[in-house]
Structure 1
């Protein structure tokens, strides 16, 4: 998975990365030549007192050092830019795929996990690319080059390098094999703590209302402790490597000095060559340590790549048509023909044998008990889910054959849970029509009975709105959501229990104002209160996913026991008969 993700999203940056490789070659070749120059200064200059040789070789060393510095700076520059651009593209791809998901896929992954995959998991792979540009490319160059240069200085001591590398490689392999499952567990624990934290922030009012702070504190503490425990175990194993690397490096240096001293004494090796050999040994072992960092970063990046690939490889259950219809006669006519919907894995359908028609210029209402399937039904019209049986037609065309952008542009949906985005009142109202004028916004606000409180807000249309609309009341959120749909001026309005937070007087005023705004459109209202829908031309009664009554208020009171029971529970007998 890691190779596939890197190959697919690094392809545009092969050129800069090739330049990084070239610059690293130049920089590391220069670094490998410096110990040899240093040995020559010691053996040919200092030992013989030849000042000219010292100055000449010193100037060469200075030039080689400048070349090494320039190569490293260039490699870091191009590597960092490539890694950041790669992360940007990968995050964009995950976000774009997430936007294509239907409610089914979003529920499968969960919002906290999708956030973690878009942020933390991408960061792990991005860090791998960056570290590869900075260090990992250099590691094999320095390792192989160091062995060659050390062999040139003294072949008789190269066995010490082989012993040190074998010992390091064995220990590193054992530790890394233990860390792999911990990396996967760590990402899952991050998902969990994100989920718990998101729930607690979103449900802060409920937590306080039920004085559940101690319980939620304990729940967060458990998730936090689990993540801390996993991270500690990862860190403990990771930190074991570095002391061991330095221990092997120091012991190897001692060994080379010990055995090299005998070779210097018998004239087989010069002092400068011995010092150069020790430098090359240090370089080789440091390269092993850099490769160790790759082995630490790589497994975690591989886990993250698998999680990212799961998102990128998941196709939405709502599939765009191969040959979409991009033009229809626009009049807001909706038909549901023998519709059935069943959630994946469910034994029984949520909706069964639904036949429903929403005519332009008329209001169709849906009422029923909690769990009757009202919200599921209206979500089928904008294709938030696809039917598992039957058809949903908009202006005579199956929604599965319509261009999704065309379909969504025709519908103004006010969801059951109104959601406002961080920004201003104006930016939220213009969500469906970016070029709407201020006059259009105020007109929609007046219809939605929201103009009065917006006028009192500091800045009015430019008044700030917090994420989710948490700085306004529930009723104000509903009215702003209704105004947002009105600004769009769609052909089909869907109000999914959008008046539940309004008082009876505001509800009545809003519905009266809506009649003029939606006179030519198809209107579908889901409601719990009979008073909200009693004037609708057609009322549909749902019970356990089936239609048990269709008609006007007066007809259903007499002919539909389910509706009569709802009415009786909300009104006195004389009010129901009126």
Structure 2
């Protein structure tokens, strides 16, 4: 499919309207560069690696395929012997038919017909076994691949998710893996069967009559030249289809997640138009590549018809000379028909392989992506910690030219509660991200109990740090399951005790099934405050030595906040805690208040000392009071 054809289709749909976004075009042309890559056999070998654990089943499928191929090739030969036995007064026996010599014509016909029935039965059983075995192997290989990519994606750093839409990631794990189904379940064995069938037919035809075989082979170069020109275009087309589907799914996922905002601003119609444009792009692209792909079958069928006609035209002359029998001519024509079938299937399979290669290219791109926060080869588990935290002259930027922290140094003693305050973008959340090692510092170091967080395993570090976010995530499932997510081996009694400690027990018991109530996706049946209380219970159940509250009380109303202040005090007691908040009630009792501005610490002290200084912190508190008075 040429780019001109794609652009024409798109322009017809847009009716002359300009592109919606120049960024989208830049993204499109960036992804288009993959079209210049040659067919990568290494990808095919890597895919084959997922089949290796099932070598025994593959070998059995190969034996079944061999039996099916041999029995199918035997049928035209048996037809030839049957026709000759019925028509000729004097049968010319060969080394393959010598066993029929002791029998009369009637007995020979009966034996040949019985042989054909037996061969068809064996062929059916062999094909049944092949299909069962290849499907068994294929589904397990897909299971392994899907599990592998999901596990790998979970291990990647947050920077990976910051730069990719959730819908695009979803496409790789679902649609792209599903696109490999034909290759895994039927492709490899079918290709081998067709190749073996093709070789067998060529050998049999050449043994029957060399000149007749050459007549058939004269049509092969023409077909190879014509179909060869289509292959690159079809390959490019399938790659473009994958890109369009990925972008469509990414937009769909984003639209569903943001449906509340869409309805709030009455943007349903523009959003529908934008989706319609993308959907039309996807449709036009798919139709264009299908038009190209549809040429394969007619070309092969025309070649088969011409070759069969040539065989009959030349074969009747050979028949008159007595060089072949009627049975041989019929069998030869049958083999010619069978000769083009595997070629036709191989061209179709080539299209399937192109689809698989386009998908595998995208799958292996993810599998080859390395975490930007890797563990050292000699990383050791972090021992149980006391909770001393040190930031030593930390410099950090999310991307070049966007410095989040600049020379930040901070020491926190075990059990201290530290409040991080400052305007939006001051660097508060960046400190938390570095402490949990979601990102790595550019300069300096973050230490816990004197140990650099880069020297320990991520799991052992994060198991001792609990984080409660402002927008807490509630999974589909029950209330009990969501709280237990903090510690999967916790008993029901421990879950209930954690809920009681954070004052969540009462509202849970008012739900229809209490702790067994299904909360639906993202906890849609719970209020924002109720979801936040569940996150407190989850954190308490995990019992971390370091606790982070990132605007964790921002979504809780004043009445609920009063109820959980005592619970928060219990939750923070004995733990090193970092609290990011704007509410005075949440931060005033902190042991240390750290004021950040543009990535630097500008003030540090207790609430009373900072208020007495009348500096940046004093200004923030005064601004908050004025805001509430105005409200």
TM-score (norm 2): 0.87
1:393 equivalent to 2:393? Answer: no
Alpha-carbon separation, structure 1, partners of 2:584 and 2:306: 86
1:190 equivalent to 2:231? Answer: no
Structure 1 position 21, deviation (Å): 2.2
Map 1:463-478 onto structure 2 (within 5 A). 463-478=517-532
1:38 equivalent to 2:93? Answer: no
Over 3 Å counting, the alpha-carbon distance change for 1:518 and 1:32 in structure 2 is same
The residue that corresponds to 1:105 in the other structure is 160
The residue that corresponds to 1:127 in the other structure is 182
The residue that corresponds to 1:542 in the other structure is 596
1:553 equivalent to 2:594? Answer: no
Alpha-carbon separation, structure 2, partners of 1:148 and 1:323: 60
Structure 1 position 46, deviation (Å): 5.1
Map 1:123-522 onto structure 2 (within 5 A). 123-344=178-399, 346-522=400-576
Q: CA RMSD in A?
A: 2.0
Over 3 Å counting, the alpha-carbon distance change for 1:558 and 1:130 in structure 2 is same
The residue that corresponds to 1:523 in the other structure is 577
Residue 51 of structure 2 aligns to a residue whose secondary structure is helix
TM-score (norm 1): 0.95
Contact 1:378 1:494 in 2 (8 A): yes
The residue that corresponds to 2:7 in the other structure is none
Alpha-carbon separation, structure 1, partners of 2:603 and 2:126: 79
Alpha-carbon separation, structure 1, partners of 2:248 and 2:527: 29
Alpha-carbon separation, structure 1, partners of 2:519 and 2:184: 39
1:26 equivalent to 2:80? Answer: no
Contact 1:5 1:309 in 2 (8 A): no
Alpha-carbon separation, structure 2, partners of 1:263 and 1:574: 105
Alpha-carbon separation, structure 2, partners of 1:524 and 1:69: 70
Contact 1:253 1:278 in 2 (8 A): yes
Contact 1:508 1:532 in 2 (8 A): no
1:8 equivalent to 2:8? Answer: no
Structure 1 position 419, deviation (Å): 0.8
The residue that corresponds to 1:80 in the other structure is 135
Structure 1 position 47, deviation (Å): 5.1
Alpha-carbon separation, structure 2, partners of 1:282 and 1:318: 60
Structure 1 position 482, deviation (Å): 1.7
Over 3 Å counting, the alpha-carbon distance change for 1:270 and 1:573 in structure 2 is closer
User: 1:159-190, CA deviations, whole angstroms, 9 ceiling, x for partnerless residues?
Assistant: 23213322322222111111111122111111
Contact 1:337 1:354 in 2 (8 A): yes
Over 3 Å counting, the alpha-carbon distance change for 1:560 and 1:372 in structure 2 is farther
User: 1:550-569, CA deviations, whole angstroms, 9 ceiling, x for partnerless residues?
Assistant: 11222222325322222122
The residue that corresponds to 1:55 in the other structure is 110
Contact 2:216 2:311 in 1 (8 A): no
Structure 1 position 133, deviation (Å): 4.1
Alpha-carbon separation, structure 2, partners of 1:539 and 1:296: 64
Over 3 Å counting, the alpha-carbon distance change for 1:565 and 1:163 in structure 2 is farther
1:115 equivalent to 2:170? Answer: yes
Over 3 Å counting, the alpha-carbon distance change for 1:43 and 1:560 in structure 2 is farther
Structure 1 segments (4+ residues) deviating >6 Å? none
User: 1:56-110, CA deviations, whole angstroms, 9 ceiling, x for partnerless residues?
Assistant: 0111112222222222222222211111111111112211211111111223344
Alpha-carbon separation, structure 1, partners of 2:443 and 2:522: 35
Structure 1 position 2, deviation (Å): 1.5
Residue 421 of structure 1 aligns to a residue whose secondary structure is coil
Structure 1 position 286, deviation (Å): 0.5
Structure 1 position 327, deviation (Å): 4.9
Query: Which segment is superposed worse, 227-236 or 111-120?
Result: 111-120
Structure 1 portions without partners, runs of 5+ = none
Contact 2:502 2:537 in 1 (8 A): yes
Structure 1 position 204, deviation (Å): 1.0
Query: Which segment is superposed worse, 132-141 or 197-206?
Result: 132-141
Structure 2 portions without partners, runs of 5+ = 1-41, 90-103
Alpha-carbon separation, structure 1, partners of 2:474 and 2:188: 42
